[in-house]
Structure 1
Amino acid sequence: MTDAAHRLHAVAHAQDGTALAYQHQGAGPRPLLLLAGQANNHHWWDGPREDFDSTHRTITMDHRGTGGSGKPQQGYSTQEFAEDAIAVLDHLGVGRADVYGTSMGGRVAQWIAARHPDRVRRLVLGCTSPGGAYAVERDVSVRRSLAQADPAAVRGALIDLMYSPGWIAGHPGPYATLGDPDMPAHSRRGHLLASNGHDAWEVLPDITAPTLILHGEQDRLTPPDNVPLLAARIPDARTQVFPGARHAYFEECRSEAAELVREFLG
């Protein structure tokens, strides 16, 4: 069941009543929750999720503010997004799942695993950071490139941050990782504040699930110096850095990353 046409769509509701659109597909015996990056909907995982269809039933969701989910004025924090994810698992009747979060989705996954250890069998964190005072932040030049007034310039900068030039040359797009174009301004601002305000440093040692941390070596959006920080705080975490890859390593190094994740999940 690898065709997106076979993807089943449903709606759960958050604790505050916000509608949460989610999608599931695959014939595998175990549930795998896939969490997308900042200001992105479930299409972030189009393509890579198919690599898990034979081993898992993959579950994606539209974060509040994106896709088919509600777009409230409030509730934008990585902690709240984590509770939204739990609401989706509850609606599906999933007691325990493997969880794989990338970028802001990795920040959300940290809260899920720390606050709800009984709900996470195994945890994969990709291209993410612990946030807070100890995190290694992106360079000011990266922030400036994403704050330009020209949308086309911002899009070009984001593509460059996501993928290496060599990969772009062979994959001209379209790309599913550049943000949900239909997000209202208040939701986009809420996602930015949520990601920037993330700080799970104190709770990372509470994570009990076996953890795999993945990152691109040339990631300038979330520097790979965050990998050893996460690994030092999460008990018995394993790490893998992909040479030459940037933020979207899960696409650029798709086959290698998927094989590692499948092996880790067992």
Structure 2
Amino acid sequence: MTAATRTRGPLIIEMMNLGTDEDPRMVRVGHQPGDGTGVPLLLFNGIGGNIELLAPLVGKMPEREIVVFDIPGVGQSELPRWPYRLGGIARLAARILDRLGIGEVDVLGVSWGGAAAQAFACTLGRRCRRLILCATAPGVVMVPSSPSVLWKMATPKRYMNAEYARSISGDIYGGDFRRNPALATDMFRHVKYKSRLGYYLQLLAASGWTSIHWLPTLRQPTLLMAGADDPLVPLANARLMHKLIRKSQLKIFDCGHMFLMTRADESVAAIREFLDKP
């Protein structure tokens, strides 16, 4: 394990060796200690997103212990030797929690990370107290976005070319990005792009996966957060999941896919209200 470093604010970032001496697996982990009260919060990022993308959101909850990490092949985490599935990411997250001495957590997942969060809640249910799913869907059995949006999402080019990111941000993310494409410049400055392979491995991990058949069995109270104008994950998916998850509530934002960034204060207020309920 390398020496830990701090970002701006209380988030401490370190490289963890979660493999063996013969087969090291270096994963970059961010940990905000918080003030020691409440249940820690585990974050699963969206596709291609590294720790820094969610760091502004983490910074708005300084009182809460929070764990976030770069998926293998993303940000500064090493590329995996073999392809993985979402269940493998859930188990990897559990190993990170073990290393930090954390047992039960609340879990929040964003977009692709929302699928990983669902996998964690299902396969490691005893460690998941409450679940927050943001701008996500029940996998391949979902209300799809348009083919043109899917085509633009199939490549990590927006992480590599700032002008391209501005030009397509409104089409992919909707909401405020339609009116102000320059928001993409501010958002993507936080992204530390690694490789095409890491991005495609994330796409492969979710291919063929669905939670549609076991969502009614989830025991965790669940908050579904969605944007009213989300071209990538249409709002109908959140409404469908709300019907399937018995202990769920739905919060809709007057925004698009990236409401956690563009409606950060409102999002944090909703997260706090849900997590702090008795």
Which TM-score bucket, shorter chain as reference?
A: 0.7 to 0.9
In structure 2, the residue matched to 1:209 is 220
C-alpha separation in 1, matches of 2:245 and 2:107: 15
Match of 1:9 among 13, 17, 36: 13
Would you say how many aligned residue pairs link Structure 1 and Structure 2?
Answer: 261
Checking the alignment, whether the CA contact within 8 Å between 1:38 and 1:179 is kept in structure 2 is no
What residue number does 2:271 align with? Answer: 261
Structure 1 spans left out of the alignment, 5+ residues = none
Question: SS of the residue aligned with 1:46?
Answer: helix
Structure 2: distance between partners of 1:82 and 1:193: 16
How many Å apart are 1:53 and its aligned residue? 1.3
Per-residue deviation, 1:152? 5.3
User: For residue 246 of structure 2, what is the aligned residue in structure 1?
Assistant: 235
TM (norm. structure 2) is 0.84
- Cα offset for 1:143? 2.2
CA contact (8 A) 2:224 2:251 kept: yes
Q: Which has the higher contact order (CA 8 A, sep 6+)?
A: 1
Specify the code of the residue in structure 2 equivalent to 1:168.
Answer: N
> Residue 48 of structure 2 corresponds to which residue in structure 1?
39
Mapped to 1, the partners of 2:209 and 2:114 lie a distance apart of 11
Closer, same or farther: CA 144–174 of 1 in aligned 2, 3 Å = same
Identity %: 26
SS in 1 for 2:251: strand
TM-score by length of 1: 0.87
Q: Is the 8 A contact 2:166 2:185 kept in 1?
A: no
Matched, 1:175 2:175: no
Deviation at 1:169, TM superposition (A): 6.6
Cα displacement (A) at 1:79:
1.9
Q: Partner of 1:185 in structure 2?
A: 196
Change (3 A) 1:115 1:175: same
Q: For the residues of structure 1 that align with 2:133 and 2:98, how far apart are their CA atoms? A: 22
Residues 138, 6 of structure 1: CA spacing in aligned structure 2 closer, same or farther, 3 A cutoff? same
Which of 46, 64, 70 is the matching residue for 2:72? 64
- One-letter amino acid of the structure 2 residue matched with residue 217 of structure 1: A
In 2, Cα distance between equivalents of 1:103 and 1:49:
17
Q: Structure 1 CA distance, aligned partners of 2:91 and 2:26?
A: 13
Q: Which moved more, 1:45-54 or 1:191-200?
A: 191-200
- Aligned residue for 2:65, secondary structure, equals strand
Work out the CA distance in 1 between the residues paired with 2:189 and 2:67: 17
CA deviation after TM superposition for structure 1 residue 66, in Å: 1.2
Runs of 4+ residues over 6 Å off in structure 1: none
Query: Secondary structure of the equivalent of 1:193?
Result: helix
Structure 2: runs of 5 or more not aligned: 1-5
Q: Give me the CA root mean square deviation.
A: 2.6
Q: Which moved more, 1:75-84 or 1:208-217?
A: 75-84
Matches within 5 A, 1:18-37: 18-28=25-35, 29=37, 30-37=39-46
CA 1:174–1:153 in structure 2 vs 1: closer, same or farther (change >3 Å)? Answer: closer
